[in-house]
Chain A
Amino acid sequence: MNRISRDQAVAALVEVVREALVQGEEVHLPDLGTLRVEHRPSTTATLPDGETVMQPPRDEIVFAAQS
């Protein structure tokens, strides 16, 4: 059995979570919540100066806390 330090555990967790999210997968962190990627399509918005712009689309990380 390997000795696992907290550093190793955190580093491995970050790697695994990152890989999963980049591939668009949902990640459930026990006792914490769920991380997933949501797509935000391009939208139009009006700036304070009255100019209308089209916002580019993006993929965002969304966290839903475990209740």
Chain B
Amino acid sequence: MPDSLVARLADRLDIQPEHTDRVLRTLAQLIKKQSARDGRVRVPGLGVFQQTDEALTFEPDQALAAAVNRRYAGLEAVPLTGKTALAVEEAPFEEEAAAEDAFAGQDEADAEAPLAEKEPLETETALAEEAAVEEALEAETALAEELVEEESLDATLAAEDAYAGPEAAAFEEEETLAGLPPYAPHEALSALPDEQPEAAEETLEAEADLAAPSTWAPPGTRWTGENLDELVEDESAPEEAADVVQEETPAPSVPARAQDLPPAPRPPRMAPPPRPQRRSPLPWILLVLFLGVVAAGAYFFLNPADQPADPGDAPVATGDAPPAAETDPAATGEAGGQSGSSADGQADTSAAAAQPAVPTPAEPAPEAPLRIDRAKGGYTLVVASTTRQQAEAEAERFRQRLSGRSIPVDVLQGVSGGVTRYRVAVGQVATANEAVALKNRLGAALPEGTWVTRIEPDS
């Protein structure tokens, strides 16, 4: 995307694209010269260019490499064989953790450890470079002046002259710039803040998540007792039970709901039977009186349940009966519609009578998704590592993709390098080898970057 790079840089610097291209080539020339003379040159925030016998090589800056690899940040190698791949029943995770940590110490040299080890090297190198750069100032300044002269000679375009002047002034004014002195260690630090906010943001997000655990839902966990997710599951289970009851005995379910909601029962119970029979023979007055009596009777009949004020009724019902929490809003909505329409006329009551039957068949709630039992441990396949919200969405996507296969999908939480990671995990097996087999079996249903990881009890 050369054109795109030039265009973006031109936009960023607010200069013409042709001038941007010249700036890029000037920088490239300086980098090549510097690396050819000193062996390597470091561009803060970008990386180190190194001239070898064969070609120019590039080693990206740590922050840049981490930003590019953010999808897999914080991953660790997983032992697959021997004593470390333990069965779930044995599950001495401490031993595994120790083994993995020992491995991580030597094998993840390109991950987190280098942050502490390589920084001093970079700083020293940068200092050495700075010294070398200062020695080479004159030669580089000559190069810059050559470029300036070339631009000055090209007087056909006034804009170029305007550019060449400032550029030359910038080069001359900052003599040290010719040798890339701005690539000093203190500049290198300026590249880090770009990365830090992301980490800080994730950390803050993680803290926010911890502060509001009710929104974080590994509800399927049966190992309960350590988190608030237990409450979620406790609510969902009775919901299902209530739904089953309503399915099996639809008739009792209507009155049960009517008792909970005062406005709803009135029309459905009383209106339908009397209206068709009595409207035709009786005059309007009798009809109104009759309905009034019936309504009054219904009111007194239901009075004990209706005594509490309407606004406070719903919360009480919700708090007392978690299973009804899901059905209440629907019934409340219906009741609201009925009360509004019944105020206009009695004709709506017949239609309202038919409505209560509608939600009953629609009640069957989707069965709770399979979750990973953290207490059981074992291994799983991680298909994504992202923010909490995105992880939940991603997990739902994989649940749909793997529906019908009885494979648990969950979001595991882990801290790596002080940052909380949310990993979408698929499947739960006893050993890492089984996890690899599962990965092969699912094949195309999993993304390319799927990897095996161990299920921690506190994940």
- Which residues on A are within 8 Å of B, measured CB to CB? 1-22, 25-33, 35, 37, 39, 41-42, 44-45, 47, 50-61, 63, 65, 67
Contacts and interface: CB of A to CB of B under 8 A. Distances in A.
Nearest to A44: B80
A42 B31 contact: no
B21 A30 contact: yes
Interface residues of B, number: 74
B171 interface: yes
A11 B43 CA distance: 9
A13 B1 contact: no
Contacts of B58: 33, 35, 61, 63, 65
Give the interface SS of chain A, mostly helix, strand, loop or mixed: mixed
Nearest to A63: B58
A41 B72 CA distance: 11
A50 B5 CA distance: 47
Contact of A41 (B80, B171, B448): B448
Listed from nearest, the 10 A-B pairs whose CB atoms lie closest are: A56-B75, A63-B58, A31-B28, A3-B166, A14-B45, A28-B2, A57-B449, A52-B81, A65-B56, A42-B451
B5 to A, nearest CB: 6
B103 A1 contact: no
Contacts of B55: 65, 67
B75 A30 contact: no
Interface of B: 1-2, 4-5, 8-9, 12-16, 19, 21, 23-25, 27-29, 31-32, 43-47, 49, 55-58, 60, 64-65, 67-72, 75-82, 84, 99, 103, 107, 159, 162-163, 166-167, 169-171, 174, 177, 180, 182-183, 191, 194, 432, 436, 448-452
A33 B56 contact: yes
Contact of B166 (A1, A39, A41): A1
Contact of B13 (A9, A19, A47, A63): A9
B296 to A, nearest CB: 70
Contacts, number: 186
A29 B24 contact: yes
B56 A30 contact: no
A47 B107 contact: yes
B28 A21 contact: no
A31 B25 contact: yes
Nearest to A14: B45
19 contacts: A1-B15, A1-B162, A6-B170, A14-B45, A14-B46, A14-B191, A20-B5, A32-B31, A32-B56, A44-B80, A44-B436, A51-B84, A51-B103, A52-B82, A59-B71, A60-B65, A60-B68, A63-B60, A65-B58
B107 A61 contact: no
B77 A54 contact: yes
Given A31-B32, A39-B449, A1 B177 contact: no
A41 B449 CA distance: 6
Contacts of B99: 51
Contact of A54 (B47, B60, B78, B82): B78
A3 B32 contact: no
B69 A30 contact: no
Most buried by B among A27, A41, A59: A59
A3 to B, nearest CB: 4
B449 A2 contact: no
